[in-house]
């Protein structure tokens, strides 16, 4: 089986297992310009060709003039999405109100950056009557974030594969939940998919990288199935807790 068929099979399985996308709905893909969101755009464009659910995808890149921003060569990514994948990629600039306190916390946590972008995505959902926001997180992201929740916040909580907001009709989905990061990187190079590496100065010193390198990767050298086994254990617990309430959190 080719790598492309393997990744598409994993994507289809995750979408089916969590009933992620329904017929005739509009979904917004959050594009960062990195390998994950760029590969996800490609996989979704292929999935759409053969899916029984006929849905519409709009890709969004959010430029933050008040936070650290990475140069992703937007024009190159836009041309790839629109000419190669036939998915519109829109650049949206967000600004903070003058009385906002958010800017005071820029260097303290990447959560503030994610929070600002999420608020912008909510507005775009209303604009395009979209019901789903798609993230490019993969299996490794989910495991690392789950370890962060345990180590930093003392919570046994997985990054949700599907998360329906209680106070709105918006659902976050992660269709690459069953795909490894190394598969994504290999596929991006194989298909010559343009992507930009992260050059955020906060990211390089963040605890996430320490957990990824010192806990996940080191244990994987000792136990080859370490990451997958941790993921499936977390995934089983997640489904048992939230499937009965349609993943509302």
195-243 pLDDT, tens digit per residue, is: 987 766 555 556 778 888 888 989 999 998 999 999 999 999 999 888 8
Sign of CA dihedral 204, 205, 211, 214: positive
Residues sharing a CB contact under 8 Å with residue 133, sequence separation 6 or more, in sequence order: 27, 28, 30, 118, 121, 125, 170, 171, 172, 173
Residues sharing a CB contact under 8 Å with residue 211, sequence separation 6 or more, in sequence order: 144, 147, 148, 151
Q: Can you tell me the mean pLDDT for 35-55?
A: 94
Least confident window among 63-72, 180-189, 211-220: 63-72
Q: CB burial class (10 A; 0-12, 13-18, 19+) of residue 25?
A: middle
Cα–Cα dist 110/42, whole Å: 27
Instruction: Map out the domains of the chain as residue ranges.
Output: 3-245
Residue 244: count of CB within 10 angstroms of its CB: 8
Element (H, E) at 56: strand 56-64
Q: CB burial class (10 A; 0-12, 13-18, 19+) of residue 50?
A: exposed
pLDDT grade for 167, boundaries at 50, 70 and 90: confident
Q: Do 40 and 29 touch, CB atoms closer than 8 A?
A: yes
Least confident window among 35-39, 135-139, 147-151: 147-151
Domain with residues 3-245, CATH architecture: 3-Layer(aba) Sandwich (3.40)
């Amino acid at each position: 089986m080719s790598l492309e068929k393997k990744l598409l099979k994993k994507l289809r399985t995750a979408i089916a297992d969590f009933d992620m996308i329904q017929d005739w709905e509009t979904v917004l893909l959050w594009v960062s310009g990195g390998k994950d969101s760029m590969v996800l755009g490609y996989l979704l464009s292929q999935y759409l060709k053969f899916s029984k659910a006929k849905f519409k995808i709009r890709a969004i890149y959010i430029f933050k003039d008040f936070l650290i921003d990475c140069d992703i060569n937007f024009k190159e990514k836009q041309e790839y999405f629109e000419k190669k994948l036939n998915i519109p990629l829109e650049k949206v600039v967000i600004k903070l109100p003058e009385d906002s306190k958010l800017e005071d916390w820029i260097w303290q946590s990447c959560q503030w950056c994610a929070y600002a972008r999420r608020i912008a995505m909510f507005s775009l959902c209303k604009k395009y009557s979209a019901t789903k926001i798609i993230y490019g997180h993969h299996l490794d992201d989910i495991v690392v974030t789950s370890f962060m929740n345990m180590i930093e916040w003392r919570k046994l909580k997985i990054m949700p594969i599907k998360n329906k907001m209680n106070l709105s009709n918006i659902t976050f989905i992660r269709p690459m939940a069953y795909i490894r990061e190394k598969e994504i990187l290999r596929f991006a190079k194989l298909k010559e998919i343009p992507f930009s590496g992260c050059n955020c100065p906060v990211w390089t010193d963040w605890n996430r990288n320490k957990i990824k390198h010192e806990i996940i990767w080191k244990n994987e050298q000792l136990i080859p199935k370490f990451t997958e086994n941790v993921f499936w254990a977390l995934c089983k617990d997640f489904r048992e807790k939230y499937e009965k309430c349609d993943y509302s959190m």
